[in-house]
A and B are shown apart, each in its own frame.
Chain A
Amino acid sequence: MEYFIQQSINGLTLGSIYGLIAIGYTMVYGIIGMINFAHGDVFMLGAFMAMIVFLALTTFIGGVPVVLALLLMMLVAMLLTGLWSWTIERLAYRPLRGSFRLAPLITAIGMSIALSNFVQVTQGPRNKPIPPLVNGGVTIYGTGITIAYKQMVIVIVTAILLAAFWYLVNRTTLGRAQRSCEQDRKMAALLGIDVDKTISMTFVMGAMLAAVAGTLYLMFYGVISFTDGFTPGVKAFTAAVLGGIGSLPGAVVGGLLIGLIEALWSAYFSIDYKDVAAFSILAIVLIFLPSGILGRPEVEKV
């Protein structure tokens, strides 16, 4: 039982990161119906930014309190990754708006290839290890269950961000504009909503969450490489689909589920096949729930 709980905690931590990335996928999908394949690489870019900020802090300033360092890493990464995402949308996706559906998918794949190779070219192909930022943990009294502080950081940061994000989407003008564009872009435009701007902001918001996820990923694993965009990206996309693509709570639920499946499968069966397990469960769930767990079932109006 202890082992199970321990593994579940690990799974939820990982799942939080997936969930943060998945929101970016699901929001973009919801609003323009496009799979943003470059999102995983945007996440990777965010982690790189955080890493460079960390190095810059240690090189130029020296000892900075961990909390401050983390905050700075997150903020700078969010800002610049948001800018990247804005630019990407502007250059590669917006010209294809209203064009046929596969065109932006292909530019997104092209962008994914270009981004990871760009990072490889500019930062080198090697893994980038950083010293551990947050050490230690607490053991729950009377049990063998340990929760590392860095796990706590991940869960807490995710929770705070999700709350803020929920507020943004449900209680602000921008969120209302987003939701209306999701329902009917043409109508929203007719009612005076700046659709292009709303879509841009959606990309920026998704990228910001991905940047936070990247920072947390870097903090948790202590290493990042230019190839690290793909697997978490695909997992997060899987999570978004599992939860029901287009649904924000679905993305979080899907992320947590994928994290749990991975952790538990590794713990009880085989670590080699953890990804196989995650993907298989996706396929099985979709066979029974064709629009994911929380997705609105697609009514086939005839």
Chain B
Amino acid sequence: MVSEVRNNPSPVLRVEHLSMKFGGLVAINDLNFEAKRGAITALIGPNGAGKTTVFNCITGFYKPTEGMLTMTRQNGEEYLLERMADFVITKKAKVARTFQNIRLFSGLTVLENLLVAQHNPLMLSSGYTILGLLGFPTYKKAAADAIEKARFWLQKINLVERADDPAGDLPYGAQRRLEIARAMCTDPELLCLDEPAAGLNARESAELNQLLLSIREETGTSIILIEHDMSVVMEISDHVIVLEYGTKISDGTPETVKNDPKVIAAYLGVEDEEVVELIEHAAATGSDDITAAVDLLSTEAIQEITETQAEVPVAAKAKTAAKPAAPAIKAGATANALAAPREGESDDLTLIKGIGPVNARRLNEHGIFHFDQIAAWKKADVTAAEAYLAFDGRIAREDWIGQAKKLAKESQGKPAAKKTGGAK
């Protein structure tokens, strides 16, 4: 399927010279890109870059100031989206979307939400209500089919059990999935997802990836997604477009984008905590060289990406924790601290999400050099480490131990492959 897609270059959506101005604010500035049919295209960029605005233009909620949006359906019909009303875009051009702030019909049941999405075909089969009101069998059949379709999607998003509960009662992650299923019930050929992984935990996020991939495989729907979570973006997207201040700064495969210096300069997915750490670091080393700082950050970002990429195939195989047999030298507060790194070389602890260069240095100072050391932490050790790192609860929250176990196993498998040797 995927290869077939790659061989078929006809774009499902072509965006040309798209501009959107709100008064003086240029939210999108002469944007051009294409979304390939059957592909997952990711739209990324810092907050306020104009990503949602692009979606709003595609789905007709905003009329662009300038530009052309061409949607080509599988049957070859072409639609100029900028000229169409929002609901017609969904109905005729078969573009569906979700919203950054979930917009479910919270007082309707989960099932009803999916039935509302099938409004147009049901309207037809109910003879614009009149035949349905009179009880014609065509509508009864269509209604039953609609429920079956809803059931199919409910199974897919794992919500069959909760079909009869109000949508507003679902937990956040389920609401996000329901919104996607609801969009899918309109039979779209292009699905626009606005930050589908926002607010999801790691497991839900992985499930979401599976859902999106299976949607693409099974229905052939092309997907454009806005996402801040790089693990999602890098794992599932075929193509990435990077926006900053309404302008496209990069466009290509995940590989090319993540190595693009412009993207790196735009602080690709850098978390605020790490910026803080960086500043601390700069203050500690007395250096005020900002380019060095940027360098450091971008390396970190790339490492994070490679790490998440590397993480997935490992995650696929269930594995048991490797039991380290390191001798416990009592130094510092943690039980398994070492006086010096084994073989004189420490693991790159910053590969663990949540550990920045500053924390890596602190850990080193306390005799923690290797993944397996962290992997072997007990509860008391965590508390101790949290004490000197001045963290509370973050180690557990970010699952350092789990991450360390994976990394430990990995570095055992292919020694020295990932050892970049401390912070630069």
Interface residue ranges, A against B (CB under 8 Å): 300, 302
Contacts and interface: CB of A to CB of B under 8 A. Distances in A.
Please classify the interface of chain A as helix (H, G, I), strand (E, B), loop, or mixed, using the class held by over half of its residues. loop
B68 to A, nearest CB: 21
A302 B57 CA distance: 11
Nearest to A302: B61
B52 interface: yes
Contacts of A302: 52, 56, 61-62, 99
Contacts, number: 6
6 contacts: A300-B61, A302-B52, A302-B56, A302-B61, A302-B62, A302-B99
Nearest to A300: B61
Nearest to B53: A302
Contacts of B62: 302
A100 to B, nearest CB: 11
Contacts of B52: 302
Contacts of A300: 61
Interface string B89-121: 000000000010000000000000000000000
Contacts of B99: 302
B101 to A, nearest CB: 9
A302 B97 CA distance: 11
A302 B194 CA distance: 11
A300 to B, nearest CB: 7
B192 to A, nearest CB: 12
A1 B177 CA distance: 69
A300 B63 CA distance: 12
B189 to A, nearest CB: 21
Interface string B54-93: 0010000110000000000000000000000000000000
Nearest to B59: A302
A283 to B, nearest CB: 23
A300 B101 CA distance: 13
A290 to B, nearest CB: 16
A209 B302 CA distance: 65
- Please list the 5 inter-chain residue pairs (A to B) with the smallest Cβ-Cβ separation, ordered nearest first: A302-B61, A302-B56, A302-B99, A302-B52, A300-B61
A243 to B, nearest CB: 23
A101 to B, nearest CB: 14
Nearest to B55: A302
